[in-house]
Amino acid sequence: MDRIRIVGGNELAGTIPISGAKNAALPLMIASLLTDDTLTLENVPHLADVEQLIRILGNHGVDYSVNGRRESQQKGYSRTINFSARNIVDTTAPYELVSKMRASFWVIGPLLARMGEAKVSLPGGCAIGTRPVDLFLEGLQALDAELDVDNGYVVARTRNGRLHGNRYVFPKVSVGATHVLMMAASLAKGETVLENAAREPEIVNLAECLIAMGAKIHGAGSSTITIQGVEALSGARVRVIPDRIETGTYAMAVAMTGGDVMLEGARPDLLQTALDVLVETGAEITPTNEGIRVKRNGAGVAPVDVTTAPF
């Protein structure tokens, strides 16, 4: 599509189903590498990044099946997908796959924790500084991993076949590194404490998934996460949280144009600060059993001051 032509001036009305969060679905899919049982994920969005990660996981030997798929449905609908990593056939993530999606680098944590080794391309190939992953590597080294960088690949191994728990303080908040270290520590020997950890809802969703698989995790959603490593993880059935970015975008659209829209399946607790700001502008925000109802009458939009910060 070369152009999008928008004719404004109309209020918005109706119901919009909110899809599953891509930023939650991707780490949950990668967590399937931690167990030889089946991990079932509900509310997985139908997006290009999800399809790409399915191909990447397939390279490692992960099988998948989709429940209730109807090809006649429009793209964007959510699905239930079963992931089975019973047989890991390859612990190498090549550049041609990792370069297409930065999140695919995250497989280094589960592969290392479960298989004792991993060879994963740097997202920028040999150009190490293109997409730095220093926090990932420092954190894995804190868990007693042996790491080398060879021709654009991170070659990682465990000592005596297993990672070992430790305390790691993130120099700066990193969602991706928090995901990876939380997954890796779940199968490490002993206790791991992650300080200055990311606090996003997607971190909590992953923790809930790992706990359902048998992990022992406390503090997800706070800046300190404690993980007691276990010998093995089992399968589980977990629901991907609704996308707070999609929810906020539609809510702001209604606040701008006026109207009355039900954001079906949305959860206000995932973006309460943003909703509070919309209320200050004059929008009506009403949580319901179905989701979030957003309304604004014909009055003008009030100005507000906003200061952003990490979640």
Give the tokens for residue 238: 């977990």
3-state secondary structure 183-230: HHHHCCECEEEEECCCCCHHHHHHHHHHHHCCCEEECECECEEEEECC
3-class secondary-structure state, position 67: strand
39 in Cβ contact with 238 (< 8 Å): yes
d(CA 32, CA 112): 13
- Of 13, 48, 126, 245, the active-site residue reads 126
> Is 209 an active-site residue?
no
**Cα dist. 29→61, 103, 106, 158, 281 in Å?**
13, 11, 11, 23, 38
* CA distance linking residue 300 with residue 138, whole number of Å: 51
**Do 255 and 263 form a contact (C-beta atoms < 8 A)?**
no
Nearest to 26 by CA among 137, 100, 120, 124: 100
For residues 73 and 47, is the Cβ–Cβ distance under 8 A?
no
Active site amino acids: 126
